[in-house]
């Protein structure tokens, strides 16, 4: 009961908001087995904390826990991703952390262009996070995507231009011209 009451209080507190976007590695596939089921194992650095919240699919703040993207990336089994580990690492410095899960597995960067469902949903969710439930400040976009753009030379070569456009559009649409974009890169040896 104490954690629940604490979470309710935190949900009405101004949050430091981080958007989690990209594809499967951000959505979390850690612990998902070959049968497409999550094993339920949560590493110590991904454990819940009363000062870490997530914006659910219905745009309400709730206690954050793995799998963070379970109601966002609904066509795949979600497991552990980098979001909770990141939040646990920064919570002491920033206070109440609000995570905004937006990642969907198997998506190419062109599916995140302005005007697409994924992009518009991400922007809508980010704005709702900043305005509702005590509000908050959007601090950064964490972007973990790219594997779907390695299947052809053309996709790989056009990635930089698509990424630059995405950064420009997100900053413009959120009216945050200096929004930090934290990008994880995937290196594949094929």
**Closest Cα to residue 6, out of 62, 69, 67?**
62
> CATH classification of 2-184, choosing from 3.40.50.1110, 3.40.50.970, 1.10.472.50, 2.60.40.10?
3.40.50.1110
* 8-12, 79-83, 141-145, 168-172: least confidently modelled range: 8-12
| Cα–Cα distance for residue pair 33/70, rounded to 1 Å | 16
How confident is the model at residue 11, as a pLDDT?
64
What average pLDDT does range 9-24 have in this prediction?
86
pLDDT of residue 36: 81
User: Which stretch of DSSP H or E encloses residue 90?
Assistant: helix 83-94
**pLDDT of amino acid 2:** 38
Percent of all residues in the chain with a pLDDT value above 70, rounded to a whole number: 88
pLDDT tens-digit readout, 102-120: 999 889 889 999 999 999 9
pLDDT band for position 8 (cuts 50, 70, 90): low
Mean pLDDT of 21-41: 80
pLDDT exceeds cutoff 50 at 1: no
Q: How far is CA 144 from CA 20, 43, 175, in A?
A: 8, 20, 22
pLDDT of 131 higher than 70: yes
């Amino acid at each position: 009961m104490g954690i629940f009451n604490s979470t309710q209080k935190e949900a009405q507190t101004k949050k430091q908001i981080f958007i989690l976007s990209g594809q499967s590695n951000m959505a979390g596939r850690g612990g998902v087995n070959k049968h497409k089921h999550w094993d339920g194992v949560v590493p110590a650095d991904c454990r819940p904390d009363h000062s870490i919240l997530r914006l659910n699919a219905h745009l309400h703040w709730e206690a954050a826990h793995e799998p963070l993207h379970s109601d966002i990336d609904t066509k795949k089994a979600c497991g552990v991703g980098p979001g909770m580990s990141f939040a646990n690492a920064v919570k002491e410095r920033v206070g109440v952390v609000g995570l905004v899960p937006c990642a969907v597995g198997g998506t190419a960067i062109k599916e995140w262009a302005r005007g697409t469902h994924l992009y518009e949903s991400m922007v809508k969710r980010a704005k709702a996070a900043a305005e509702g439930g005590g509000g908050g400040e959007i601090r950064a976009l964490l972007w973990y995507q790219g594997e779907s753009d390695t299947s052809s030379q053309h996709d790989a070569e056009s990635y930089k231009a698509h990424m630059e456009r995405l950064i420009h559009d997100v900053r413009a649409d959120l009216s945050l011209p200096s929004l930090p974009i934290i990008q994880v890169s995937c290196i594949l040896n094929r």
